[in-house]
Amino acid sequence: MAGGATECCRHIVCEGCPVLLVIDEKRRFIFRVERGRVQGSDRGTVRHDDLIGLRYGSRVRLSSGIYALVLQPRLVDYMERGLRRRSQVIYPKDHGLILMLLDIEPGNRVLEIGVGSGYTTIVLARAVGPEGKVYSYEIRRDMFETARRNLETVGLLDRVELKHRDARLGVDEENLDAAVVDMPDPWAVLPVLHRALRPGAGVVFFLPAVNQVARLLAALELHGGWAETRVYEVLLREYEPRSDALRPRTTMIAHTGYLVYTRRIERDMGQHQDTDKGG
């Protein structure tokens, strides 16, 4: 589970266990329990020692007298509250479709180009399981270090090989099961992807602007090694969970980016022999 917690943390809070402390909708805190420490907020404090031995799903009384809910943090909780963020990230609403399109399952070997803050890396690492592996390439040192720290936070660094390199110059891996690309010029890595993926494997490109999508589609057609191409935009509307006034929330995470999905096929080398050089 996220956080790399021990077996006892599945039901009972123990020292070293991760906790999501929910005071209200705006006050949600993720931390690991350490004896002698205190979790503070503007609505009161709680001693970590008072959390040890509680069952997840219990309530604990804060110093102010109000109660807070003690929960086991989910992956989405870490993404919302518990991870460092240095760039725009792919949202959970898009991650779900990415996993389905690529058919990611335990044991898969997945390529990621453009790590950013590591949010997608974490989702992929969870999906491939302990027997799988994610090979992640990031050109920026600050992003590379942020992603490493975030992977350590959720206890999934051992499932990822992070590489501070420009994937446009090539990757080390071959015969991979899937790929995710999040970079401004993904058409530049089409030859690299084609060499790295097994026949029939899928790749999803995340792009924020429609002109990038159009250029990528043109490059896929020119390259000739891709088929079953689709373009998606995921919109998610959340509702106020009130039985007396059920309605949509006034704010909405609407456009985050476009997802371009395609699959690797064998190329007609006579027709496309020059495209690897030009991108």
| Binding-site annotation: residue ranges for S-adenosyl-L-methionine | 138, 182
> Rounded to 5 degrees, what are φ and ψ at 50?
-75, -15
Contact predicate 155/3, CB 8 Å: yes
Beta strands 28-32; 109-113: pairing state:
unpaired
What is the spatial order of strands in the sheet that 59-61 belongs to? 28-32, 18-22, 67-71, 59-61
Amino acid of residue 63? S
Angle at 91 between CA 97 and CA 147, to 5 degrees: 110
> Residue 86, exposed/middle/buried by CB under 10 A (0-12, 13-18, 19+)?
middle
Beta strands 226-232; 59-61: pairing state:
unpaired
Please report, in range form, the residues annotated as the binding site: 138, 182
